[in-house]
């Protein structure tokens, strides 16, 4: 390092003394990525979306992006024209989904080699005149203040089409404009020039971008059929616009509140229909989504033990992933789950999942025998003080963040700690998720027990402690969850053990009972 610093200083002085600047090759700008397909999405409120986003809508797809057309600091989108993850809301800073959400997700799922980008601009209540650069100024001059303010969220002068063009030009530097998706018309039911102006808005944008409609498909969507404004104008657009397709709204429900807007599930289906039409236009067949599957053919039973490395086989399509891995390299080198990139190591106890980094997660199909409170245990190891994880079921957290104790010594990743929690689980089949909240930890397995039935010592197998089936009285030492010895009782079964333990504890809660036959946690009520 010191030699190169001295050489650099010498070179700079010599160059200045000789009267010329240091030479070198300036880094060339990267060419646009041909596998970054970008779609312009514009229209009024149904394009912007009015239904609240649900958990499945918020799952980030690494190959689905948006170009920021508004600044949303709360979502980390602070720079106009920059690329960000496409998570709700795409068109504003709220929590709603639109046609574009599931259009983009479906396109990404159908083309695994491609990243999808959206340029989103939608103004609720706006006529198509707002998107006509020859009419927008006069149209806004007589518009109500709320609509003017809505348009100004995209452009200070209300010229929303210029915003589309400006952002699209930036997008062309990194990818390729591949098409339009459009939904508008509720405001223009009596406007006879509507088809002509729709075509003009598209053609004006293409001209400004130096592109042709021959190679850029346009997909429009029908209005709500049970609403106020449905007609056959959208389905007839292909008669007056080249390379144009329409997405049917047949069978799609409204929101039950007004006569204009679709409901949540309709937005999801409508977005997929848009994608089907776009895929048809670019001669790509849609990929049929497939759910994730249990690794060993059937869900893990709860109560029971779950090996961390036996996470589900990933499915196909948005929301059907079974794991998230921050890098594709398998640092464990075992090839146990080859192709996933999940870091699986071979240890004395069998396979374990290691090299876990914050934000990574694994999912497991589980079948909960009965609804109720379960004791949860995880075998984990770390050499750090900040490692941690959290468990969730069907997207809802069932534990707080659980800290992983720091191990000391050279073999700190071979000494597994047993961390515990109590969880409430509903009966039936569910998806369990293990999420890393603090990096650099290993995990071996998880155990769920019926109430107190969770092993404490030598938890290499899930077994019901012998005290559950005791036929004669045994002696049990009782400890609190901090390991403090409380006393000894004799009991011939779980019910008697809990009753006897009451004499040793001041308040109810979870306690550890140890006998020669094994250990268990018991729940004592006072």
pLDDT of residue 297: 96
Residue 26 has pLDDT above 90, yes or no: no
What is the share, in percent, of the chain residues with pLDDT greater than 70? 86
Is residue 414 within 8 Å of 324, Cβ to Cβ? Answer: no
pLDDT of residue 117: 98
Own/partner pairs for 504-513, CB < 8 Å, 24+ apart? 504/478, 505/478, 505/480, 509/480, 509/481, 510/375, 510/422, 510/452, 510/481, 511/478, 511/479, 511/480, 511/481, 511/486, 512/456, 512/478, 512/479, 512/480, 512/481, 512/483, 513/467, 513/476, 513/477, 513/478
Least confident of 229-243, 358-372, 466-480: 466-480
- Mean predicted confidence (pLDDT) in 314-329: 81
Q: What span, in angstroms and rounded, lies between the C-alpha atoms of 142 and 139?
A: 6
Calculate Rg over the CA atoms of the chain. Answer: 30
pLDDT of residue 110: 92
pLDDT of residue 452: 47
CA triple 24-30-34, angle to 5 deg: 160
* 194: confidence class by pLDDT, cuts 50, 70, 90: very high
Least confident of 15-24, 53-62, 286-295: 15-24
pLDDT of residue 450: 61
Mind listing the pLDDT tens digit for each residue in 101-111?
A: 999 999 999 99
- Mean predicted confidence (pLDDT) in 166-191: 96
**CA-wise closest residue to 444 among 409, 408, 418:** 418
- Mean predicted confidence (pLDDT) in 147-170: 97
- Mean predicted confidence (pLDDT) in 1-12: 34
Record the pTM: 0.58
pLDDT of residue 515: 77
Q: What span, in angstroms and rounded, lies between the C-alpha atoms of 486 and 514?
A: 12
Residue 517 has pLDDT above 70, yes or no: no
* 457: confidence class by pLDDT, cuts 50, 70, 90: very low
Residue 374 has pLDDT above 70, yes or no: yes
Least confident of 22-36, 119-133, 350-364: 22-36
Q: What span, in angstroms and rounded, lies between the C-alpha atoms of 236 and 165?
A: 26
């Amino acid at each position: 390092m010191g030699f190169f610093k001295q050489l650099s200083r010498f070179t700079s002085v010599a160059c200045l003394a000789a009267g010329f600047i240091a030479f070198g090759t300036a880094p060339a700008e990267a060419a646009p990525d041909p596998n970054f397909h970008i779609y312009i999405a514009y229209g009024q409120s149904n394009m912007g979306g009015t239904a609240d986003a649900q958990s499945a809508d918020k799952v980030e797809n690494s190959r689905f992006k948006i170009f920021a057309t508004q600044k949303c600091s709360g979502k980390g989108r602070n720079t106009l024209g920059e690329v960000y993850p496409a998570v709700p809301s795409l068109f504003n800073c709220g929590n709603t989904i639109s046609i574009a959400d599931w259009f983009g997700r479906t396109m990404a799922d159908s083309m695994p080699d491609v990243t999808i980008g959206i340029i989103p601009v939608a103004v609720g209540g706006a006529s198509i005149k707002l998107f006509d650069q020859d009419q927008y100024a006069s149209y806004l001059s007589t518009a109500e203040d709320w609509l003017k303010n809505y348009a100004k969220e995209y452009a200070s002068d209300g010229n929303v089409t210029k915003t589309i063009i400006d952002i699209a030009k930036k997008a062309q530097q990194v990818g390729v404009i591949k098409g339009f998706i459009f939904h508008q018309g509720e405001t223009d039911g009596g406007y006879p020039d509507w088809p002509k102006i729709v075509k003009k808005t598209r053609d004006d944008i293409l001209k400004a971008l130096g592109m042709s409609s021959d190679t850029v498909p346009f997909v429009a969507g029908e209005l709500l059929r049970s609403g106020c404004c449905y007609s056959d104008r959208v389905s007839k657009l292909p008669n007056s616009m080249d390379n144009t397709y329409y997405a049917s709204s047949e069978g799609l429900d409204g929101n039950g509140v007004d006569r204009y807007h679709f409901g949540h599930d309709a937005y999801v289906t409508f977005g997929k229909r848009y994608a089907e039409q776009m895929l048809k236009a670019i001669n790509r067949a849609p990929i049929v989504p497939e759910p994730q599957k249990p690794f060993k053919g059937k869900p893990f039973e709860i109560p029971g033990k779950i090996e961390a490395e036996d996470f589900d086989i990933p499915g196909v399509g948005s929301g059907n992933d079974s794991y998230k891995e921050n890098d594709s390299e398998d640092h464990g080198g075992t090839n146990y789950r080859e192709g996933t990139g999940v870091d699986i190591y071979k240890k004395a106890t069998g396979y374990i999942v290691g090299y876990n980094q914050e934000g990574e997660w694994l999912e497991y199909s589980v079948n909960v025998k009965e609804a109720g409170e379960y004791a949860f245990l995880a075998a984990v190891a770390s050499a750090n003080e900040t490692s941690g994880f959290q468990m969730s079921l069907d997207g809802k957290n069932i534990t707080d963040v659980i800290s992983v104790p720091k191990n000391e010594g050279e073999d700190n990743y071979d000494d597994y700690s047993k961390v515990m929690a109590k969880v409430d689980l509903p009966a039936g089949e569910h998806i369990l998720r293990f999420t890393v909240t603090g990096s650099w930890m290993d995990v071996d397995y998880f155990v769920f027990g019926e109430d107190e039935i969770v092993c404490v010592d030598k938890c290499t197998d899930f077994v019901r402690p012998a005290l559950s089936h005791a036929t004669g009285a045994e002696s049990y030492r009782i400890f609190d969850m901090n390991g403090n010895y409380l006393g000894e009782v004799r009991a011939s079964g779980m019910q008697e053990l809990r009753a006897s333990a009451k004499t040793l504890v001041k308040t109810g809660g979870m306690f550890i009972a140890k006998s020669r036959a094994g250990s268990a946690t018991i729940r004592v009520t006072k």
